[in-house]
Chains A and B, each alone.
Chain A
Amino acid sequence: MIEAVGLTKRYGDKTAVYNLSFQVRPGAVTGFLGPNGSGKSTTMRMILGLDNPTAGHVTIGGHPYRKLPNAARHVGALLDAKAVHGGRAARNHLLSLAQLSGIPARRVDEVLGVVGLQDVAKRRSKGFSLGMGQRLGIAAALLGDPQVLLFDEPVNGLDPEGIHWVRNLMKALAAEGRTVFVSSHLMSEMALTADHLIVIGRGQLLADMSVTEFISANSADFARVRTPDSEPQLREKLTGALTEAGGHVLPEQDGALRVTGLPLPRISDIAHGSDVRLWELSPHQASLEEAYMRMTQGAVDYRSTADQKAGLQQPLPPGAQPPMPVPGQGQPGWYAPPPPQQGGQPFAAAQGAPGHAPAGPYGAPAAPGAPPANPYAAQQPPRPSGPAAPAPAPPAASPAPLPASAPVTNPTKPEDAR
């Protein structure tokens, strides 16, 4: 059981972690998510007593880490795969740690076998690949057979077999009644591994809830509806009918419609009732990744922009089209649609009240009777005569990828000059 209360860490005038309170319970894998620089590693270092909090405190099993008798037998941690002396052989590295905690030396060979490094035990860890380094770090964490385990990005650099192994390892450790706290950026991994999530952004708590709650609260499931391309008026007609029925319709880039707030059979009935043929009617489940992107979009510190190569590009030969940009590159806001209840305010409520109980600031999952307000209305003024505005991607950030005949936007134009 890890318990943080009002944890705050400042480095000079930069606040890395602010007033963070959470509990990590035994018997479950708790995922620790947040964008780069959001304070995950700082929090982990404070849990392990490496950094002293500026305010607040964090305890493991009721004791601050540095007060634990034989801490390594109680808590195992993988903070950084490269936190080893590269000149020391893997086995000697683990042996020195085992001796420090009074762990019998045969346990070293045991964990080397567990992580699959027995054949390179005598080799210096300098020559290890990132994945081998991760395995060595996991071996060090498992060495004391501890009750609480912390892993910072454990699957970085691991091969698919290794990722699979780590996934099962985490689950098995939790099933034995241990506390497992894992940070990761791989959402697909987290969706498979974690039972519970703690999400932070800019050092503050954004969410503390189960994975299923998190997904339903932060991203709506939707239905994709496609009408015949040849008859655009059908789409307009269907949009009107669906909106009238309480649905919430967003056009997609390729001309399909994204409908939330109506069950699939109802959409089909409405289409039939208004005499519109459908080419596609498919359910789409929101993923953890979409939900995560949705929630943390406001808390991302390091965001890529399009590579403009301003002034370096050869003028395009006459008649040539600029290359189509890959969706998502350098354009903020391409992630999943917001849950209808929130009206495009991703986590305003959560940030106002950090440390809230799971069900608190978020409404029930995608209920049918959602307010019809367009969540993008506030962010994106409707374009005057845009033929099928590229919907989930906001303003004309980059050369519009859709209709190929659209006026060619100068790719070297800075994004600000939209």
Chain B
Amino acid sequence: MSTPQPPTPQAAPDWHPAPASPYPTYTSPIPVVRTTLVHALASEWTKIKSVRSTMWTLGVFVLLVIGIGLLTGAVVANSSSDLAGESALSLGFFGLLLGSICVITLGVMTTASEYGTGMIRTTMTACPSRGRVLTAKAIVFFLVAFVVTLVSATLVALAHVAMLEGNGAADPTGTEWLKGTVGVSLYIALLGLLSLAVGSVIRHSAGAITIMIGVLLAPLVIALFMFSESLKDVQQALFEYSIPNQMSIFYANSLSESGPSGWDPLWILLGVTAAAFAGAFALLEKRDV
């Protein structure tokens, strides 16, 4: 049998009938604990680190951010151009833009792959508090995505500053450092978190990834082809609020003078992600698994 141990002292009243039930009942010798979010966090941490897709997406992410960052740095450093007092940090943007696709993928996979494989039924049977599972997934994913992005972005930023000293780049200020590393890392991790919520709503990996890549790139591409004068305002808004432009704001670069600035992109994305999670939680409680 599964539990061959003889009844231990604390499990002595093994066969006492429950007050309301005329039938014998079984009592497990393993103590029953009250489960909390902490248990769900441990479980999700085990899950996220035990599949290869996590290692692959994060590996490719680091490779893209550091590889493209160093390549851009090398090109600029070897050219005779003069940065004329610009911050060297802004060169990290290109790698992070491409790398954000990996974070989106991982975010979607964290939720949607459970639906694709059927694992969700096992998970939701083991923990019928569905909201707790989604919360744990969100926290674990956000921390992983944030830490990995922060480390990669900081490494690239340090390399850029060192490489471009001779090209007239200004030493970044404390705020510039903060926005160019922590700020942009928070933004990318939040973007992944939004993908995680979308994955939970769509329940289909390919569908959710397609939607998120569309959200990432479509506004900018569409705006590029808005030549009509009457669409100028729309074009402007699409440019300003497109995700690449908002990311670039962390490096104090923008396609326009108006529109979001400073830490605005973070608050905008925070609002969108919160709305997506509200929808995801509501649907999770209501729908059949």
Binding site for B on A (CB under 8 A): 1, 25-27, 45, 48-52, 61-62, 65-66, 68-73, 75, 77, 79-80, 82-89, 92-93, 95-97, 99-104, 107, 110-111, 114, 140, 142, 144-147, 169, 172-173, 176-178
A70 to B141 Cα, complex, angstroms: 24
| A96–B51 CB distance below 8 A | no
B126: Cβ under 8 A from any A Cβ = yes
CA distance A353 to B154 in the complex (A): 72
Chain A: CB-nearest residue to B114: A85
Q: Give the residue of A27, A73, A86, A114 whose beta carbon is less than 8 angstroms from that of B23.
A: A27
* In the complex with contacts A99-B42, A176-B1, A26-B28 CB distance below 8 A: no
Contact of B118 with A by CB under 8 A: yes
Residues A96 and B43 in contact in the complex (CB < 8 Å), given A66-B128, A147-B27: yes
Cβ contact within 8 Å between B43 and A97 = yes
B residues near A (Cβ < 8 Å) are: 1-3, 15, 18, 20-21, 23-30, 32-35, 39-40, 42-44, 46-47, 50-53, 113-114, 117-129, 133, 286, 288-289
Q: Which residues of B contact A27 (CB under 8 A)?
A: 23-24
The reply to whether A50 and B121 contact each other, CB–CB distance below 8 Å, is yes
Pair B113/A85 contact, Cβ less than 8 Å:
yes
CA distance A186 to B117 in the complex (A): 27
Enumerate chain B residues within 8 angstroms of A140, measured Cβ to Cβ.
122, 126
**Which residues of chain A are within 8 angstroms of B20 by Cβ–Cβ distance?**
62
Inter-subunit contact A85/B51 (CB<8 Å): yes
Which of B23, B50, B53, B129 has the most C-beta atoms of chain A within 10 angstroms of its own C-beta? Answer: B50
Chain A hits for B53, CB < 8 A? 87
Measured CB to CB, the closest approach of chain B to A337, in angstroms, equals 37
8 Å CB contact of B39 from A66, A99, A173: A99
Question: Could you tell me the distance between the alpha carbons of A89 and B53 in the complex, rounded to whole angstroms?
Answer: 13
CB distance from A49 to the nearest CB of B (A): 5
| Distance of A68 Cα from B129 Cα, bound (Å) | 10
A83 touches B118 (CB 8 A): yes
- A1-B289 CB under 8 A given contacts A80-B121, A146-B28: no
List 15 additional A-B contacts (Cβ < 8 Å) besides A69-B35, A70-B32.
Answer: A26-B21, A49-B124, A49-B125, A50-B124, A52-B286, A72-B125, A82-B117, A84-B117, A85-B47, A85-B114, A88-B47, A88-B50, A89-B50, A101-B35, A145-B2
Give, as a whole number of angstroms, the nearest-CB distance from B55 to chain A.
10
**Measured CA separation A176–B25 after assembly (Å):** 8
Bound-state CA distance A69–B34 (Å) is: 7
B125 touches A178 (CB 8 A): no
The answer to whether A177 touches B24, judged by C-beta atoms less than 8 angstroms apart, is yes
Bound-state Cα–Cα, A68 to B124, Å: 13
Q: List 30 A-B contacts (CB under 8 A).
A: A27-B23, A49-B128, A51-B289, A62-B20, A66-B128, A66-B129, A69-B34, A72-B126, A75-B125, A79-B121, A79-B122, A83-B117, A83-B120, A83-B121, A83-B122, A84-B122, A85-B114, A96-B43, A96-B44, A96-B46, A97-B126, A100-B35, A100-B42, A102-B34, A104-B30, A107-B30, A140-B126, A145-B3, A145-B29, A173-B1
Determine the distance from Cα of A144 to Cα of B286 in the docked complex, in whole angstroms.
27
Contact B121–A70 (Cβ < 8 Å): no
Q: In the bound complex, what is the Cα–Cα distance between A82 and B50 (angstroms)?
A: 18
A70-B32, A85-B117 given; A77·B21 CB < 8 A: no
On chain B, the residues within 8 Å of A103 by CB distance are 30
Q: Which residues of A sit under 8 angstroms from B120, Cβ to Cβ?
A: 83
- Write the nearest CB–CB distance from B26 to chain A, whole angstroms: 4
Which A residues are in CB contact (< 8 Å) with B28? 73, 144-147
**CB of B192, distance to nearest CB on chain A (Å):** 19
Contacts of A83 in B (CB 8 A): 117-122
- Complex CA distance for A130 and B32, rounded to whole angstroms: 32
Whether B125 contacts A26 by the Cβ 8 Å rule is: no
A92 touches B35 (CB 8 A): no
Q: How many angstroms from the CA of A82 to the CA of B26 in the assembled complex?
A: 29
Is the beta-carbon distance between B288 and A51 smaller than 8 angstroms? yes
Residues on B with C-beta less than 8 A from A75 are 125
Nearest residue (CB) in B for A52 is B288
Contact of A96 with B47 at beta-carbon distance under 8 Å, contacts A45-B288, A85-B117 already known: yes
* B41 CB, nearest partner CB in chain A, Å: 9
Which of chain A's residues have a CB closer than 8 A to the CB of B42? Answer: 99-100
A145 touches which of B21, B30, B47, B127 (Cβ 8 Å): B30
Whether A92 and B126, one on each chain, are in contact in the complex, defined by CB atoms closer than 8 angstroms, is: no
Identify B117's interface contact among A73, A86, A146, A147, CB under 8 A.
Answer: A86
Alpha-carbon separation in the docked complex, A114 to B40 (Å): 25
| Given A50-B288, A89-B50, A92-B50, A147:B125 Cβ within 8 A | no
CB contacts (< 8 Å) of A69 on chain B: these are: 34-35
The answer to whether A71 touches B127, judged by C-beta atoms less than 8 angstroms apart, is yes
Q: How far is the CB of B86 from chain A (nearest CB, A)?
A: 44
- Shortest Cβ gap from B236 to chain A (Å): 45
Structural contact, B126 and A100, CB atoms closer than 8 A: yes
Contact A177 B1 (CB under 8 A): no
Tell me the complex Cα distance, A104–B20, Å.
30
Contacts of A73 in B (CB 8 A): 28, 30, 32
- Asked whether, in the complex, the Cβ of A142 is within 8 Å of the Cβ of B2, the reply is yes
Q: Are A71 and B125 in contact (CB under 8 A)?
A: yes
Among residues of A, the one whose C-beta sits closest to the C-beta of B42 is A99
Shortest beta-carbon distance from A110 to chain B in Å: 8
In the complex, how many angstroms separate the beta carbon of A2 from the nearest chain B beta carbon? 12
Tell whether, in the assembled complex, residue A70 and residue B122 are in contact, meaning their CB atoms are under 8 Å apart: no
- Bound Cα distance A100, B24 (Å): 28
Among B18, B30, B44, B286, the one with the most A-chain Cβ atoms within 10 Å of its Cβ is B30
Q: A24–B50 Cα gap in the complex (Å)?
A: 38
Residues of the A chain whose Cβ atoms lie less than 8 Å from the Cβ of B29: 145
For B23, what are the chain A residues with a Cβ–Cβ distance below 8 Å?
Answer: 1, 25-27, 177
Closest Cβ of chain A: how far from B139's Cβ, in Å? 14
User: Nearest Cβ distance between residue B141 and chain A, in whole angstroms?
Assistant: 15
Chain A residues within 8 Å of B32, by CB: 70, 73, 102
Query: B12: shortest Cβ distance to chain A, in Å?
Result: 15
Report how far A103 CA is from B39 CA in the complex, Å.
10
Give the complex CA separation of A102 and B41 in angstroms.
11
B24 to chain A, nearest CB (A): 4
Q: Which of B52, B123, B128, B129 has the most A CB atoms < 10 Å from its CB?
A: B128
Known contacts A1-B21, A147-B28; decide if A100 and B43 are in contact (CB<8 Å). yes
